[in-house]
């Protein structure tokens, strides 16, 4: 039992693609609406068997329109209520399912109102509300799971294939010996680290600080926390050596040895590093173009 629970948690933490294109969201919402209409028309849940064909058609179309509307509304509200909402690089399967469940709850409330207005539910009670919610979840759960699994497999295959192509494009240039030292200072201008460029792996923003990941004299990975902004440190780095692959990461392009893909996007594997570096979706095309020139 514990092993199954651990596997479930691992699956829910898997990267998942966040769709941020309005037209794609609308198209997806129309797809869910069409599936909803088909289920209502052919299986007649909620006591729809009592309805005449014309009334059944009307109610099915109304509920399908509600499904399409609330899927689009939830997506729009996230960006309106949370202007800094940027899930593209942190979205997971679990978050996708939670958002879907919240949408289902709103849809269930609207469905209850429609059923009451049509006289299928004469009086909305707690028991009837629970029944409507359960039926709504059961109807919606199957297509949601199918869509999530489909996106996982399709995008994972696509990104893995493209990651292999990008990796094959990588040249393996030897680091230039005796390269000049790079001096990295704190916010007061006090030098904290002096390293050859070929030993700096990547820099990562951490609030008012920046983590410098590098290789020591024995080629073991180390990190140093500097109180300084990533943008300021970037100015101290030699031009052309580092790629801004993410708003929080600068990676040494000469040390990139592999590109990995997941269902969300890509990650860079650097020689000697003990962790991968994420590539923001908005920067993927430019980063991969630069990698081909490495």
Domain boundaries, the chain: 2-168, 174-291
SS3 188: coil
pLDDT of 199 reads: 93
Phi, psi of 60 (to 5 degrees): -65, -40
Q: Please give the span between the terminal C-alpha atoms of the chain, in angstroms, as a whole number.
A: 48
Buried b (16+ CB within 10 A) or exposed e, 242-252: bbbbbebbbbb
Residue 233 clears pLDDT 90, i.e. is over it: yes
**Averaged confidence pLDDT in the chain:** 85
| Cβ-contact 166, 291 below 8 angstroms | yes
Query: Which of 2.40.50.1020, 3.40.50.1820, 3.30.70.100, 1.10.10.60 is the CATH number of 174-291?
Result: 2.40.50.1020
pLDDT of 121 reads: 66
Nearest-angstrom CA–CA distance, 222 and 272: 10
Angle CA 71–74–154, to nearest 5? 55
The whole-model pTM stands at 0.73
Residue 172 clears pLDDT 60, i.e. is over it: no
Residue 173 clears pLDDT 60, i.e. is over it: no
């Amino acid at each position: 039992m514990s092993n199954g629970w651990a596997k479930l948690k691992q699956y829910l933490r898997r990267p998942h693609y966040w769709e941020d294109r309005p037209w794609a969201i609308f198209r997806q919402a129309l797809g869910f609406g069409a599936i909803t209409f088909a289920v209502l028309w052919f299986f007649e849940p909620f006591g729809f068997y009592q309805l005449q064909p014309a009334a059944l058609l009307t109610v099915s179309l109304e509920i399908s329109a509600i499904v399409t509307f609330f899927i689009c509304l939830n997506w729009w509200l996230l960006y309106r209520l949370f202007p800094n909402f940027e899930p593209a690089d942190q979205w997971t399967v679990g978050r996708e399912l939670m958002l879907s469940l919240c949408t289902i709850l709103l849809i269930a409330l609207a469905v209850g109102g429609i059923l009451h207005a049509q006289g299928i539910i004469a009086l909305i009670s707690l028991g009837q509300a629970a029944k409507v919610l359960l039926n709504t979840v059961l109807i919606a759960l199957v297509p949601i799971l199918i869509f999530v699994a489909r996106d996982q497999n399709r995008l994972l295959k696509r990104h893995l294939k493209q990651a292999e192509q990008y990796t094959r494009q990588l040249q393996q240039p030897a680091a230039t010996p005796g390269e000049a030292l790079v001096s990295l200072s704190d916010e007061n201008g006090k030098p904290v680290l002096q390293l050859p460029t070929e030993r700096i792996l990547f820099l990562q923003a951490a609030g008012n600080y920046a983590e410098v990941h590098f290789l020591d004299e024995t080629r073991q990975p180390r990190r140093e926390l500097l109180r300084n902004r990533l943008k300021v440190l970037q100015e101290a780095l030699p031009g052309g050596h580092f790629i801004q692959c993410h708003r929080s990461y600068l990676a040494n392009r000469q040390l990139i040895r592999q590109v990995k893909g997941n269902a969300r996007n890509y990650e860079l594997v650097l020689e000697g590093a003990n962790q991968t570096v994420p590539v923001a979706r908005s920067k993927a095309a430019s980063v991969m173009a630069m990698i081909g020139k490495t």
